[in-house]
Amino acid sequence: MNKMTRLLISIAFLVASPLAFACDYPAPPKDLPMGATATKEEMLAGVGLISKYQESMTEYLACIEADEVVAVQALADDDTEGQDQSKLMFDKKYNAAVDEQARTVEQFNIEIRAYKARSQ
């Protein structure tokens, strides 16, 4: 690798490093209503919290995807081990976030079903 390529890679890392810290992992909502006891207004507020959480998670996933693109571009074309390792770490991070989002939404769906069962 020549000096110019190394310089460009170094600059890319310097420019991209603040972006790596810009991806804020959204915490799931803590105060979701319990369907067995909640009012209609509380359940609607819960729907709003879940919607906001899903929007935040979508933004987070897009952010880490963009970071992955930058990270892979910074690696040398012949650094397949580095590319594979980067892809593996990205996949773990992405899948963990999607799994947590699915668990959170499903838990609230259980509460919605409990609310609807009580309301009928």
pLDDT in tens, the chain (120 residues): 565 555 456 555 555 555 555 799 999 999 999 999 999 999 999 999 999 999 999 999 999 999 999 988 888 888 888 888 989 999 999 999 999 999 999 999 999 999 999 878
Helix (H, G, I), strand (E, B) or coil at 72: helix
pLDDT given at position 75: 82
pTM of this structure: 0.77
pLDDT given at position 7: 47
Could you tell me if 47 and 58 are in contact, meaning their C-beta atoms sit under 8 angstroms apart?
Answer: no
Helix (H, G, I), strand (E, B) or coil at 118: helix
Domain ranges of the chain: 3-119
